[in-house]
Structures are given as C-alpha cells and as structure tokens.
C-alpha cells in the first residue's frame, strides 16, 4: 500500500520533482552524500548534518504543498522586516551580474552578484558562509560558499564559484543567466574574532579557499584599533590562477598585511609577475610553515582553507611543528 505521508518523490520516484526538465510540482529529493564526502575534520555544519537538514526541509515543503500552503522559499520575502537570510529556510535572490575571473580547459572561476531588495545587508558575521541549493537531473544538490563582498555591503552580495566541466553543482551553476532566482540559506560557521585577540593571524589558503580569508582580513584591516599582523600564504598552480589579485594588492597597502604566493606549476622563465609580488615556486609544506610562522604559543592563530587534502596536510604539518588544535582553525 502506498504511504500517503511520504513525498511523491519517494512513493512515485519517476515523475515527482520540481525541475526545469520535469515541470512538476513537487520538491526535489536531496541527494545523499557518500561516506567519502565527509572529511572527518569536524566541519560545522558537516555535509551529513546539511543532508539531514535538507531532508527535513524537503519533507516540510512537501507537506506545505500537500496542504495547499506556500512553500518555505515562497513565504520568505527579503523586502520584509527581519533577517534577510534564514538558516532553516531558503530565500531566492535574483542574479544581477556574472564576472569571469579565470578560464581554462577544465574549469572557470566566476563572481556572481545577487540582489538584496531594500538596500539591506546580507547579515553575516566574519568568517561565516551560506548554502546554495540547486536541482540537476531530478536531484537536489547543495554546496557551501563564503561571500566575498564586504560584510557591510548593501543591496547585494557576491559569491566566487569555481565551475568545472564535470560535477553536479557545476552543471547547475552553468545554467545561470542574469535575472535567474537562486536559493540560499544561512548563515553558518563557528569562527569568532575580536580585535587584538591574537598577535598574528597566519592564513594558509589554496585556490578558492581565499574567500573566507578575505572576510577576516577585511575585518582586521578595517579597524584602525586592531594591530593584528595578518600574513597570507596563498597556494595556486600558476600566476594567472591567483584569484582576486587586485583585491589582494589593495590589502597589501596596509602596514599589517602581507602575502606570499606559492606557485606549484608555473614556468619560472616565461612569466612576468607584478613588481613587488612575493613569489615562491613550489608547494606550501612543513618546511615553508616552519620558516613562515611564529613559534607556537606566541599569540598566533593559523587559518586554513583549501581542498580536503590540502587542509589535512596543513593541519598535520602544523601539529608536527608543535601547534595545538586551539592554534588552528579550518574553514
């Protein structure tokens, strides 16, 4: 016997999804992460936590439709009073602009600007991220992103996304056109910071892992009373792969910010860096961290953000150098 309390995506899997392809009326069932999708690093929220919450939201949306009520995303209106975002309900924002940063045969990196009605702020604290939801081939997929726009920006927020030739979320993002409505919820994240809490902030980032570092650096440098020294070690394949280079150049004008670029695949003879750039050829490894970091216990916090393997390697190297878990924060 069919269970009428289950969403149709369970009871009638073939024809009950809200997608451009299907044109049906029922919400798309969230895609369950693989066990390997969890890095085991204690991320908050973990991908498994996100999946459990997505399942709850999916069931609520089904019940709302079944009872003739508005869905969660339809009932949230960024024009109204109250927070722009909700951590447990999706809000749709209109895509205003797409800016291409880098592109090669396997991927491209873009900045997507979304409109916030009413000239309001997004409402994130420093270091927080938001969750994107999309639908691909009758599957609901989610990913986490840290906005790169200023936390004080009004009327819009910007998100940097690397779009691959393969990948489920990349398939969804590649369909975006200016004017599309895109669903986000949040904010999330456990990072906290107060001025002069540390003597040194050392940021170790790879690729798009630069995004939370920008948030934190801007918060420090935007406070004239904050004398924290910020040092960024940024790992990229080639010089042309350095993301948001103009933004980093502007930050480098502050007395308490400096950046070194570590290029793992650059042709040392045939590239021309900007005058004054601190370039190293090779990867960030334990030897680099030993040379760059103040000794443990000297008021230093190390922030890490990159690929799963990069994060694990950096954390392992830091612990080998004597840094404790309280000296390290992984985004």
Binding residues for FAD: 143, 145, 160, 162, 169-170, 211
For 33-93, give the secondary structure using H, E and C. CCHHHCCCCCCCCCHHHHHHHHHHHHHHHHHHHHCCCCCHHHHCCCCCCCCCCCCCCCEEE
The CA distance from 152 to 200, in Å, is 24
Q: Are strands 200-206 and 181-188 parallel, antiparallel or unpaired?
A: unpaired
DSSP code at position 30: B
Binding residues: 143, 145, 160, 162, 169-170, 211
Q: Which two tokens stand for residue 94?
A: 């209109």
Distances (CA, A) of 119 to 79, 115, 219, 246: 9, 9, 21, 26
Q: How far apart (Å, rounded) are the C-alpha atoms in residues 291 and 282?
A: 14
Give CA–CA dist 141/261, Å, rounded: 33
Distance CA(221)–CA(228), nearest Å, equals 9
């Amino acid at each position: 016997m069919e269970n009428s309390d289950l969403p149709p995506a369970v009871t009638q899997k073939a024809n009950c999804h809200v997608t451009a392809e299907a044109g049906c009326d029922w919400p798309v069932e969230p895609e369950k992460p693989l066990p390997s999708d969890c890095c085991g690093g204690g991320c908050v929220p973990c991908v498994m936590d996100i999946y459990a919450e997505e399942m709850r939201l999916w069931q609520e949306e089904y019940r709302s439709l079944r009872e003739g009520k508005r869905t969660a995303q339809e009932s949230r209106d960024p024009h109204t009073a109250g927070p722009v975002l909700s951590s447990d309900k999706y809000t749709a924002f209109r895509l205003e602009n797409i800016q291409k940063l880098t592109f090669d045969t396997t991927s491209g990196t873009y900045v997507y600007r979304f409109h916030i009605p009413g000239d309001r702020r997004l409402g994130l604290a420093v270091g927080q991220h938001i969750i994107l939801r999309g639908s691909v081939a009758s599957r609901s997929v989610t990913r986490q992103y840290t906005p790169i726009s200023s936390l004080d920006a009004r009327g819009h927020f910007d998100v940097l996304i690397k779009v691959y030739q393969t990948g489920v979320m990349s398939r969804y993002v590649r369909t975006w056109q200016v004017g599309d409505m895109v669903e986000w919820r949040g904010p999330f994240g456990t990072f906290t910071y107060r001025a002069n809490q540390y003597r040194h902030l050392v940021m170790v980032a790879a690729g798009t892992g630069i995004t939370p570092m920008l948030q934190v650096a801007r918060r420090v440098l935007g406070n004239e009373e904050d004398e924290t020294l910020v040092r960024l070690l940024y790992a990229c394949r080639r010089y042309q792969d350095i993301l948001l280079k103009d933004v980093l150049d502007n930050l480098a004008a502050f007395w308490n910010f400096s950046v070194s670029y570590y290029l793992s695949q650059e042709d040392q003879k045939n590239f021309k860096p900007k005058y004054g750039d601190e370039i190293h050829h090779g990867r960030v490894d334990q030897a680099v961290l030993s040379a760059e970091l103040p000794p443990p216990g000297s008021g230093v916090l190390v922030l890490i953000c990159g690929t799963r393997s990069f994060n694990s390697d950096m954390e392992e190297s830091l612990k080998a150098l004597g840094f404790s878990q309280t000296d390290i924060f992984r985004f």
